[in-house]
Amino acid sequence: MSEQTLTFQISAKPVERRLDRFLYVQIGTVSRMFLRDLIERESCLVNGEAKPRGYHLRENDRIEVTFETDAETSMKPEDIRLEIVFEDDEILVINKPAGMLVHPTKHVKTGTLANALAFYLNNFQSQIVRPGIVHRLDKETSGLMIVAKTERALRILSAHFQKKLIKKIYLAVVEGTISEDSGTISAPIGRVEEKPHWRVLVDGKEAETKFQVLERRESSTLLELEPITGRTNQLRIHCAHIGHPIVGDEWYGAKPFARLCLHAARLGCYHPNGGWLEFSSDTPTEFSAL
Residue with the larger pLDDT of the pair 102 and 99 = 99
Task: pLDDT band for 73, please (50, 70, 90 cuts).
Answer: very low
Mean pLDDT, the chain, whole residue set: 87
Q: φ, ψ for residue 69 (rounded to 5)?
A: -60, -30
- Where in the chain does DSSP place strands (E)? 3-9, 44-46, 49-50, 62-68, 84-87, 91-96, 132-133, 142-148, 167-175, 182-186, 189-192, 197-200, 208-216, 220-227, 262-270, 276-280
The mean per-residue pLDDT over the stretch 185-199 comes to 82
The pLDDT of residue 74 is: 47
CB 271 within 8 A of CB 255: no
Task: pLDDT band for 24, please (50, 70, 90 cuts).
Answer: confident
The pLDDT of residue 290 is: 78
HSE, side-chain direction, 13 A CA sphere, residue 283: 13
Max avg pLDDT among 23-32, 156-165, 256-265: 256-265
138 is a catalytic site residue: yes
pTM, two decimal places: 0.77
The pLDDT of residue 5 is: 79
The pLDDT of residue 76 is: 76
The pLDDT of residue 72 is: 52
Residue 216 has pLDDT above 80, yes or no: yes
Q: φ, ψ for residue 20 (rounded to 5)?
A: -65, -40
Task: pLDDT band for 272, please (50, 70, 90 cuts).
Answer: very high
Give the Cα-Cα-Cα angle 109, 113, 114 (nearest 5 degrees).
Answer: 65
Residue 78 has pLDDT above 60, yes or no: yes
Residue 263 has pLDDT above 70, yes or no: yes
Q: φ, ψ for residue 122 (rounded to 5)?
A: -85, -10
Q: Calculate the alpha carbon distances from 120 to 78, 131, 259 in Å.
A: 8, 9, 27
Give the Cα-Cα-Cα angle 23, 27, 30 (nearest 5 degrees).
Answer: 95
CB 201 within 8 A of CB 189: yes
Q: Calculate the alpha carbon distances from 21 to 3, 33, 148, 165, 261 in Å.
A: 22, 11, 18, 22, 37
Task: pLDDT band for 75, please (50, 70, 90 cuts).
Answer: low
User: In this predicted model, what pLDDT tens digit does every residue of 25-50 receive, in sequence order?
Assistant: 776 556 666 787 788 888 889 998 88
Alpha helices of the chain — where are they, by DSSP H?
A: 19-27, 32-40, 113-123, 151-162, 234-241, 285-289
- Burial (CB count within 10 angstroms: exposed 0-12, middle 13-18, buried 19+), residue 202: exposed
The pLDDT of residue 37 is: 79
Pairing of strands 262-270, 220-227: unpaired
Residue % of the chain over a pLDDT of 90: 50
Q: Of 70, 89, 138, 282, which one is the catalytic site residue?
A: 138
Task: pLDDT band for 16, please (50, 70, 90 cuts).
Answer: low
CA dist 268 and 59 (Å) reads 38
Q: Which of 11-15, 84-88, 222-226, 249-253 has the lowest mean pLDDT?
A: 11-15
CB 136 within 8 A of CB 234: no
Residue % of the chain over a pLDDT of 70: 88
Domains detected in the chain: 3-72 (3.10.290.10), 73-162 (3.30.2350.10), 169-264 (3.30.2350.10)
